[in-house]
Amino acid sequence: MLVKILVNKYLLSRNGLLPIIPDFGKAKKLEGHDKLKGRVSLIIGGNSGIGLSIVKTFLREGATVVASARHLGELEAINSSQFEFLKWDIAEVETSKKHIDYLFEKYGFVDDIVICAGVNVCPNNNETDYVKKKWIETEFVHSINVIGVCEICKYILEKAKNLKNNRQPKVINVISSGAYMATPEPYFTSKHALMSFTKAFMKESEGFLRVYGICPGEVRTKMIVHGLFTRVSSSMFSFLIML
């Protein structure tokens, strides 16, 4: 694993602002090579950011893609006969089970399950007491970033154990390089928890699933621009780890 350590003086200004890397223009349109032709891929949290890019890449490579999110978002622009959208809040366990049942019944097998859903703050948290406010935020963030993901993984494992062929679905948890940062914010603690779960789940599901965890560094997404990292304390981060 290649780890690059970027010292904060190159990324953080004196007043603690995290500069947003400028957009140097759109990349040239890439041509697909049907590398995923014939595969059914579920992208959970595919309506923006990294998840949306995965959806577009998988479609370009010929996969049948089912993308899910709490709302359609930027997926509305996708027009493909190989694309399907499911409204899905992964904090709702029964909804997750219902959608997973539906997909296995419709397609018979799901080759790739990419879990990219995640949040970094709790919206509309108007609690004035600091301790209560942080606890509300922690519960909300962990209900999606940790518990929601864990419940999906556990249920997919149940489905995989009942498959009659020897094919193993591939589960990819998109974690974050935040899993390597020790800070008290709920987002980071949730990523530490998800990293630990993913490692344990790899062993638990051996022989039934192929499980992976990937930890992207900073990517120019709405979460970065408008969320957690737009203003940070330079004393909190002495370096950023990018994978």
pLDDT digits (tens, 9 = 90+) for 178-195: 888 888 888 899 999 999
Q: Is pLDDT at 238 greater than 80 in this prediction?
A: no
Q: What backbone phi and psi angles, to 5 degrees, belong to 222?
A: -65, -30
Q: What is the pLDDT of residue 32?
A: 74
Ordered by start, the domain boundaries in the chain are 1-7+37-225
Residue 59 exposure: Cα atoms within 13 Å on the Cβ side:
19
Helix (H) or strand (E) holding 50: helix 49-60
User: Which stretch of DSSP H or E encloses residue 83?
Assistant: strand 83-87
- 211 contacts 173 by C-beta, under 8 angstroms: yes
- Strand boundaries in 94-242, DSSP class E: 112-115, 170-174, 210-214, 239-242
Dihedral of the CA atoms 83, 55, 43, 208 (nearest 10)? Answer: 100
Beta-bridged to residue 212, according to DSSP, are 172
Report which of residues 127 and 57 the model is more confident about: 57
Segment 120-171, tens digit of pLDDT: 777 778 778 888 888 888 899 999 999 999 999 999 999 999 998 888 999 9
Q: Is the pLDDT of residue 205 over 70?
A: yes
What is the model's pLDDT at position 30? 60
Pick 82 or 241 by higher pLDDT: 82
The pLDDT value recorded for residue 220 is: 64
pLDDT in tens, 115-127: 998 887 777 787 7
Residue 159 CA, chain-centre distance (Å), reads: 21
pTM of the model as a whole: 0.78
At 107, is the secondary structure helix, strand, or coil? helix
Res 21 pLDDT > 70 = no
Pick the CATH number of 1-7+37-225 from 3.40.50.720, 3.30.465.10, 3.40.5.50, 3.30.950.10: 3.40.50.720
Locus of tokens 């864990």: 150
Render pLDDT for 68-105 as a digit per residue (tens, 0 to 9). 999 888 888 898 999 999 999 999 999 999 999 999 99
- Average pLDDT of the residues of the chain: 81
Our CA dihedral for 125, 130, 131, 132, rounded to 10 degrees, sits at: -30
pLDDT, mean of residues 39-55: 92
Flag whether pLDDT at 208 surpasses 80: yes
